Amino acid sequence: MRINSDLCTGCRLCVRHCPFDAIEVVDKLARFKDNCNSCGACIEVCKFQAITPDEVPGKSTGRAEEGPVTYAGIWVFAEQRQGRLAGVVLELLGVARELASQCNTEVTAVLLGQGVAGLASQLIACGADRVYLVEHQELASYRTEPYTYILSKLVQEYRPEILLLGATHIGRDLAPRLARRLNTGLTADCTGLAIDPEEKILLQTRPAFGGNLMATIACPHRRPQMATVRPGVIVKLEPDYTRKGEVIRHSYTIPPEVLRTTVLEIVQTTATTVNLEEAEIIIAGGRGLDGPEGFRELEKIAALLGATVGASRGAVEAGWIGREHQVGQTGKTVQPKLYIACGISGAIQHLAGMQRSGCIVAINTDASAPIFRVADYGIVGDVHQILPVLAREMQTLK
């Protein structure tokens, strides 16, 4: 960062807004301390435009070229927990490859952690041209501030055009902090990404107003263009372990003031989980089941089919089944090979979460229900009469 002494008035506005206490005023002139991490917060608040970022020299590993500030490349944050990549990372690499082909650019995965170098080959096989690897003992377990610090350093050094993160617990925590640090925009919980053919900017689609309409959002004036993407909305590419890519290691010293929290212990507990995103068959119920007893019937059929039980928002809010079973805009987005909708009318919020399923079977008494518009097979009838027949047929087939 640079301070123009001819423009600076020593007003101390930058001092008050610096999140790291990295600016001081001496003789009516602001100056940076050694702990400045070039986050850029001071640039925005300076009324006299006295603070500007330093230019970063270009290198062949993806940095912007010398001279005017330029941005290039699509980055994917390679979220991992205890040495295992999150499933959404592989989905993001797939869509990043599609976007990169339209922009004639490269895909880079950013991998942070400790002892995670072995994941780089998997990232390259799934679509990354390059992996930036940062290993540090303070990155072994996710913490907001050190991850934000390292990732912002990399972004400021290499200047990617687009940065994608998964809309997971970690991604939803990290992305807004990072966007503020980089002074750029962020579209959260996207269900679709595309490149504008004329302006070559990222078009980010997400549900709005409770899922009643889909909004397409663009960030034309700030870089990088950032988005978090919901797991399950993008089809993963098949890994190709013959792909070649480069792994570039980086080493950073994390200032003590960034490490304001400490992981004392990780307690692992055994719990019953519902992995709807990975299920190949889902049988889901809605308000047409008329109560929790209807879901008991679904569970019997699910056991015969080797399926997972899902539910509509209405059924969950009625207390008939746990929220972890919810499919839809405010629940899980799924793409099973077979989706059986029992007593679900098909509100737009629910359709947004399951309409990309391989085969959809709908059972509903209302022949005009929206669910039939996306169904491959439709049965108009009482779900309470049809489910016992279905159970008997499944039992016979077994």
**Is a pLDDT exceeding 80 seen at residue 27?**
yes
Mean of pLDDT values over 231-245: 83
- 69 in any annotated domain: no
- 58 in any annotated domain: no
- Please tell me the total number of residues recorded for the chain in this structure: 398
Angstrom distance (rounded) from CA 87 to CA 104: 26
Mean of pLDDT values over 149-167: 91
Q: Is 170 annotated to bind ligand?
A: no
Lowest-pLDDT range of 107-111, 137-141, 281-285: 137-141
**Is a pLDDT exceeding 80 seen at residue 224?**
yes
Residue 212 belongs to domain with CATH number: 3.40.50.620
Enclosing domain of residue 214: 74-258
Q: Does 224 lie in the same domain as 146?
A: yes
Out of 15-24, 111-120, 347-356, give the one with best mean pLDDT.
111-120
Read off the amino acid at residue 99.
L
Q: Does 8 lie in the same domain as 46?
A: yes
Residue 30 belongs to domain with CATH number: 3.30.70.20
Band (210; pLDDT cuts 50, 70, 90): low
Q: Is 344 annotated to bind ligand?
A: yes
Q: Does 79 lie in the same domain as 109?
A: yes
Band (30; pLDDT cuts 50, 70, 90): very high
Please state the domain count of the chain.
3
Q: Does 131 lie in the same domain as 86?
A: yes
Mean of pLDDT values over 10-15: 90
Q: Does 351 lie in the same domain as 227?
A: no
Mean of pLDDT values over 103-123: 91
Q: Is 349 annotated to bind ligand?
A: yes
pLDDT above 70 coverage of the chain, percent: 93
Band (211; pLDDT cuts 50, 70, 90): low
Q: Is 326 annotated to bind ligand?
A: yes
Angstrom distance (rounded) from CA 182 to CA 42: 11
- Cis check for the bond before 256: say yes or no (omega within 30 of 0): no
Q: Is 181 annotated to bind ligand?
A: no
Q: Is 348 annotated to bind ligand?
A: yes
Mean of pLDDT values over 118-134: 91
Angstrom distance (rounded) from CA 54 to CA 386: 69
The DSSP bridge pattern shows strands 84-85 and 130-135 to be: unpaired
Q: Does 236 lie in the same domain as 97?
A: yes
Q: Does 239 lie in the same domain as 372?
A: no
Q: Does 243 lie in the same domain as 281?
A: no
Q: Is 82 annotated to bind ligand?
A: no
Q: Does 378 lie in the same domain as 285?
A: yes
Q: Does 292 lie in the same domain as 211?
A: no
Angstrom distance (rounded) from CA 274 to CA 292: 17
Q: Does 204 lie in the same domain as 134?
A: yes
Q: Tell me which of 199, 223, 258 is where a domain ends.
A: 258
- 89 in any annotated domain: yes
Q: Is 312 annotated to bind ligand?
A: yes
- 67 in any annotated domain: no
Q: Is 345 annotated to bind ligand?
A: yes
- 270 in any annotated domain: no
Query: Quick one: pLDDT at residue 62?
Result: 39
Band (273; pLDDT cuts 50, 70, 90): low
The DSSP bridge pattern shows strands 2-3 and 51-52 to be: antiparallel
Q: Is 346 annotated to bind ligand?
A: yes
Other residues' Cβ atoms within 10 Å of the Cβ of residue 276: 24
The DSSP bridge pattern shows strands 192-195 and 202-208 to be: antiparallel
Query: Quick one: pLDDT at residue 54?
Result: 63
- Residues 281-297, buried b or exposed e (16+ Cβ, 10 A)? bbbbbbbbbeeeebbeb
Q: Is 355 annotated to bind ligand?
A: no
- 59 in any annotated domain: no
* CB 244, CB 124: distance < 8 Å: yes
* CB 308, CB 398: distance < 8 Å: no
- 101 in any annotated domain: yes
* CB 99, CB 202: distance < 8 Å: yes
**Is a pLDDT exceeding 90 seen at residue 232?**
no
Angstrom distance (rounded) from CA 189 to CA 310: 21
Mean of pLDDT values over 366-388: 91
Q: Does 284 lie in the same domain as 230?
A: no
Q: Is 343 annotated to bind ligand?
A: yes
Lowest-pLDDT range of 115-124, 270-279, 358-367: 270-279
- 359 in any annotated domain: yes
